[in-house]
Amino acid sequence: GLLRRRQRLGTFVAGGAARAGTSPLPAVRAVAVISSLTRESCSSVPYCVDILEGIKFGLMPPQRIEYCVHPQGAHKSVDVLPTVDAEVLRSLVQGVVGIEANHAGRLNELARAGLPVVAMDFHQMDASFDSVYADHEEAGFQATAHLLALGHRRIAYVGERCNPRSSDP
């Protein structure tokens, strides 16, 4: 009921009150970024910069991003980060985004504590959190698997050409 389509006229945002059982998304103002990268890397690596710009675009003012990252010069796995207190984090932010967060255990702990968690380009079978794929071969695999499950048999996958800024084939 959010969009109305009219033949030969186009697609428009529907007017009027939302239908019963639907509610607008809550206004998200603050998120935490958990990463195996340093804060400086998150601010300079094009992949991270693009993700952070997207996050900022989706946040309502006043915007706040808390960083739970390694100190300068220490690119290590997320599982060696100091444990993040979920209760404290929940009082500061409305959700957690994992960028280059390569350890499901830490993210599962936060998700089980009631924090909404989304991992970028990372998924594990025992994950208690959502995953989003951007510029990643897993995105192609997930989309193809979904289309196959729907019964499609002729599927074209168009990906990026090789470039020095991407680690994906």
Q: Which of the pair, 134 or 20, is modelled with greater confidence?
A: 134
> Has residue 3 got a pLDDT over 90?
no
Categorise residue 153: left if φ over 0, alpha if ψ from -120 to 50, beta otherwise. alpha
Q: In the predicted model, what is the mean pLDDT of residues 78-99? A: 81
For residue 117, give both structure tokens.
Answer: 């968690």
Q: Residue 26 has what DSSP assignment? A: P
73: nearest Cα among 33, 35, 37, 48: 37
Categorise residue 100: left if φ over 0, alpha if ψ from -120 to 50, beta otherwise. left
> Has residue 35 got a pLDDT over 60?
yes
pLDDT of residue 54: 86
Distance between CA 92 and CA 156 in Å, rounded?
A: 43
pLDDT of residue 165: 57
Q: Which of the pair, 2 or 75, is modelled with greater confidence?
A: 2
pTM for the predicted model, two decimal places: 0.65
> Has residue 15 got a pLDDT over 60?
yes
Alpha-carbon distance values, 77 to 99, 102, 168 (Å):
12, 6, 20
Q: Which of the pair, 25 or 46, is modelled with greater confidence?
A: 46
pLDDT of residue 8: 74
